[in-house]
Chains A and B, each alone.
Chain A
């Protein structure tokens, strides 16, 4: 079945440092989504990437979708304590017919030292 691998599992940074998490799929994806989960909270949708090579920005967050639509990354510039949480990627298979299921990566837990 489809697998979505996410690295690193954990990342601890000093406030102000940059952070990147990477997501790789074993199969070509139709789209990839990113979610953030604050400690003790629930996953919240951040963004969706659909096109090959797509790059989207949300303030200090930059999201990329690979040319082959099998990998993605999330980069945070100048981290802040409010960035603390677990970041999940979730991919949807690029197969014929309806496929309602997202496959989530295991997430990257980001902690920020003030």
Chain B
């Protein structure tokens, strides 16, 4: 039982390049989330998926797209990376059937540097 896994762990991009961050969970959770973490800013929600087939914008969605590929996988895509997207990205999942008392399980993070 690996929990939440993310790939890659580290990535360096040039401005304008695109990439997809992958996330998978093996806990049979229905809800998944993408956050970014910047120094002094805490965790900010980019997008979330309450259940398979649905996605919704969070606090800071501009410049990102997401795909809920199936129940296990939730990917985050940067179509044209910008230096402002340099950050640590965390994927998380939760069992929404426990709402409002479900907790979130986080992956190890992807550290992205955009030059």
Contact = CB atoms under 8 A, between A and B. Distances in A.
A40 to B, nearest CB: 9
Interface residues on A, range: 20 to 34
A4 B5 CA distance: 28
B53 interface: no
**A contact face: mostly helix, strand, loop, or mixed:** loop
A100 B108 CA distance: 21
B40 A106 contact: yes
A41 B105 CA distance: 13
A42 interface: yes
Nearest to B45: A101
Contacts of A92: 100
A102 B99 contact: no
A41 B48 CA distance: 21
B107 A42 contact: yes
Given A30-B100, A31-B100, A100-B48, A43 B43 contact: yes
Given A9-B40, A100-B31, A106-B40, A31 B101 contact: yes
Interface of A: 1, 6, 9, 30-31, 33, 41-45, 48, 50, 88, 90, 92, 98-102, 104-107
